Amino acid sequence: MIVTVDNFFTEYHSFNVKNKKIEIKNNYYFTYTAKNDIDNTDITFKNYKNNKNNLFIDSDSNKRDNDIVLSIQSYKDNNGKLLYDIAVGNFIGKFTYNGVEIDIKSRFSDTFLTKMLNFANDVYLDDVSVFDAKEKNSKDTNYSKFIIYYMFIQKLEKAFLLGLPKSYVSVNHHEMKVKGKIDINRFIKHDIPFKGKVSSTSREQKEIQEIIDVLYKAISIIEKDKFSTKNISNIKTHLKQHKSNKFVSNETISKAIKSKALQNPIFTPYKKVLEYAKLIINTNNLEEKSNANKETFGLLVNVAELFEIYLVKLLQLQMPDWDIIYEEETEVYQSNFFIRKIKPDIVMKNKYNNQVMIFDAKYKKMTFKNRYENGGDLDRNDFFQINTYMTYYDKQGYNVIAGGLLYPIEKEFNCRFDNEHCKEDYEKLKAHSNNWFGNDKTQFIVDGIDLSKDNLTMDNILESENAFIERIQNLTKIKGTKC
């Protein structure tokens, strides 16, 4: 069995597998318990999907096919000793690969993951969880499953604002008034001689039964696992009133997902909702099957999206004078064959003027390494992507006062944000630039939540959140903006 954490890299710390364990820091570890040496392995997301018992999100998954889940490469040093280089990607979850059980946990332990789940689910009390911790053994908790639950609830809540998908169906009537058109066959069979009622048929919009049944089944599974559904209590009530008593089979799920009603742009968001519902139902079915037959199954999720939503909720809560927009999507070059969409993670628009701030959230390792230290922590593509977003909003007439990249920060700041107690060269170390490509009205920043402390507690996280919000608010003060 392999137990490790997301974004684990051995870098210069290659190790002998006979030691069974490598630990660079308390929250970074890799353990291997098996009789044989590990073979060279590159598990990509595509490799993971090829196992029929492994579950994942269908939507856009092909774009992540080449993303590394786990890479293990062996080599021999000058003394002939067998060593390994390890790299773990941005996924967490449990699965089996080539007979080896693999468990990838959050590198920030359960504390921060629980905090993100709570916050994202609108639970802002630090001593309350979105699920009943008493019902779960923390060592066995599959947090990837709870992330899926949250994503389903969040997407359903948003999609339901315009109601459930509907399609036209034929409805038979037998009343004194004609509704639609007379049904000749039924009229001849039932209404001659005439007894005062006419058989007729009308075309009416009805909510799709398969979609109702699938959504209600997913919600029932979520509640069984003690996960909060209070945000969608009204949706649950509506679904309960209109559900059928039929078993939700794979055929039912397939009909729901392939419903023609989802081609209507109004109901397009339900495609994602139903994919999450399918995942929830299949996970539950596999759990029941594995418990009975002792089989194994996998569930893997990318935790980056949860981190993005956590930051959005935090900013929405603490900065009420700003509209915080998650993944605002805009098409560029609309009249050309190379039309593209741009979608920054976070766009902050001041409610009182045209000032904006644009950020991308990156659930990657940030220890402030510069580009001369093994390539650095700041990815080149991430850097140019956020600058493209900032340029677009600037050219649209917005007053872009700041933009940049936000991370879970894993190293003490040491002169990164102020020089009050800095004994080093602050100008070289600072993570906030006072200008953007020479434009003094805009700042470019690298910032985020400080998670550098060992044995991280909720109090540590709260303190880091408050410091982060204060730094973002200071950006607006520097530019003379109401905050």
Q: How confident is the model at residue 294 (pLDDT cuts 50, 70, 90)?
A: very low
Task: Output the average pLDDT for the chain.
Answer: 82
Q: Is 20 left (phi over 0), alpha (psi -120 to 50) or beta?
A: left
* Res. 413: pLDDT tops 80: no
Distances in whole angstroms, Cα of residue 220 to Cα of each of 17, 25, 216, 267, 430:
44, 40, 6, 23, 50
State residue 178's pLDDT score.
85
pLDDT by residue (tens digit) across 63-106?
678 888 999 887 777 887 777 788 898 888 888 887 788 888 88
φ/ψ of residue 37, rounded to 5? -70, 155
Q: Report, as an integer, the average pLDDT of 391-418.
A: 88
Burial of residue 324, with CB atoms counted within 10 A of its CB: 0-12 exposed, 13-18 middle, 19 or more buried: buried
**Domain boundary residue, one of 107, 123, 141:** 107
Q: How confident is the model at residue 20 (pLDDT cuts 50, 70, 90)?
A: low
Residues whose CB is less than 8 angstroms from the CB of residue 376 and which lie 6 or more positions away in sequence, other chains included: 369, 370
Q: Report, as an integer, the average pLDDT of 311-329.
A: 92
pLDDT by residue (tens digit) across 347-376?
999 999 999 999 999 999 888 888 877 778
**SS3 string of 140-205?**
CCCHHHHHHHHHHHHHHHHHHHHCCCEEEEEEEEEECCCCCEECHHHHHHHCCCCCCCEEEEEEEE
Residues 283 and 388 in one domain: no
Residues 26 and 454: their CA atoms lie apart, in Å, by 7
Q: How confident is the model at residue 317 (pLDDT cuts 50, 70, 90)?
A: very high
Higher confidence at residue 141 or residue 379? 379
Higher confidence at residue 459 or residue 9? 459
Higher confidence at residue 182 or residue 301? 182
* Res. 32: pLDDT tops 90: no
Q: How confident is the model at residue 419 (pLDDT cuts 50, 70, 90)?
A: low
Answer yes or no: is 28 within a domain: yes
Q: Report, as an integer, the average pLDDT of 193-210.
A: 88
Q: Is 134 left (phi over 0), alpha (psi -120 to 50) or beta?
A: alpha
| Coil vs helix vs strand at 20 | coil
Q: Report, as an integer, the average pLDDT of 461-478.
A: 89
Residues 7 and 73 in one domain: yes
Strands (DSSP E) found in 327-412: 330-332, 340-342, 346-350, 355-361, 399-409
Answer yes or no: is 483 within a domain: no
Residues 194 and 213 in one domain: no
Answer yes or no: is 462 within a domain: yes
Residues 101 and 99: their CA atoms lie apart, in Å, by 7
Answer yes or no: is 193 within a domain: yes
Structurally, the chain folds into a number of domains equal to 4
Q: How confident is the model at residue 23 (pLDDT cuts 50, 70, 90)?
A: low
Answer yes or no: is 122 within a domain: no
* C-beta of residue 481 within 8 angstroms of C-beta of residue 398: no
Domain interval for residue 401: 304-478
Higher confidence at residue 30 or residue 35? 30
Q: Specify the CATH number for the domain of residue 448.
A: 3.40.1350
Nearest 10 degrees: CA dihedral of 187, 191, 196, 198? -10
Name the residue with tokens 């470019």.
444
* Res. 415: pLDDT tops 90: no
Residues 74 and 184 in one domain: no
pLDDT by residue (tens digit) across 229-266?
888 999 999 999 999 989 999 999 999 999 999 999 99
State residue 242's pLDDT score.
94
* C-beta of residue 402 within 8 angstroms of C-beta of residue 443: yes
Residues 260 and 180 in one domain: no
State residue 21's pLDDT score.
60
Residues 349 and 403 in one domain: yes
State residue 444's pLDDT score.
95
Displacement of CA 364 from its chain's centroid (Å) = 14
Residues 175 and 222 in one domain: no
State residue 154's pLDDT score.
81
Answer yes or no: is 146 within a domain: no
Burial of residue 173, with CB atoms counted within 10 A of its CB: 0-12 exposed, 13-18 middle, 19 or more buried: middle
pTM reported for the whole predicted model: 0.69
Residues 80 and 175 in one domain: no
Higher confidence at residue 211 or residue 24? 211
The percentage of the chain sitting over the pLDDT mark of 90, rounded to a whole number, equals 34
* C-beta of residue 350 within 8 angstroms of C-beta of residue 399: no
Residues 423 and 442 in one domain: yes
